[in-house]
A = this chain, B = another copy of it.
Amino acid sequence: MKIIDISWPITSDITTYKNKSDVQIIQTHSWETSVKRESQLICGMHTGTHIDAPAHFLKSGLTVDQLDLNSVIGPAQVLELSLVTNKITKQDLVNFNITAGAIILLKTSNSNLAANSLFEPNFVYLDSSGAEYLASKKIKAVGIDYLGIERNQPEHNTHKILFSAEIIIIEGLRLAHVAAENYELICLPLNIVGQEAALARAILIKK
């Protein structure tokens, strides 16, 4: 069983959405003063690899602890979209064989950005037409290789279309080292109660 880690490494200088300086990893016990090492984490819930739950943008949406983990464990397709610029539309997706119940991971040129580079405001995102297309295909989850799945859409339509179709959104994947093939995905968010998102670890399994 080969495990391929597709999680964003979490460091104090990790890239954050719009360069919010909200991540700190603090060493509270070190060998200099203690018999052990210990650390503390301070961060936004949308740091690095994370799951957005419907409660992020829908008032009556499920919180992250209410999601069915079956939706983020199972067969996953990595789609090769590295040549797409600006945004992923329906036209970029129609030639892939996307089946109901699939987990779709969007591999774009975003994955070529360093994990601790300044935030790239022109990251490749999924536009409304792409989100509607994935919703029509009845997939169960979609992941993207940047800290947001949309940008510059005032009504946050991509999130709302996906959430309304009960599709879980995984943001902050790292896919540069991953071939566009089929895998088993395991993406486990922290068991944060009653909130709109949670940091997560995501791996691909190739058997």
Contact = CB atoms under 8 A, between A and B. Distances in A.
A176 interface: no
Contact of A192 (B3, B10, B44): B10
Contacts of A206: none
A124 to B, nearest CB: 22
A37 to B, nearest CB: 4
A195 B156 contact: no
A42 interface: yes
Given A9-B193, A65-B9, A203-B69, A22 B46 contact: no
Contacts of A189: 201
A46 B38 contact: yes
Interface stretch (A55-63, A92-100, A101-109, A125-133): A55-63
A18 interface: no
A197 interface: yes
Contact of A188 (B41, B48, B65, B201): B201
Contacts of A190: 7, 10, 190, 199-201
Interface of A: 1, 3, 5, 7-11, 22, 25, 27-28, 31, 35-46, 48-49, 55-57, 59, 65, 69-70, 73, 156, 186, 188-197, 199-201, 203
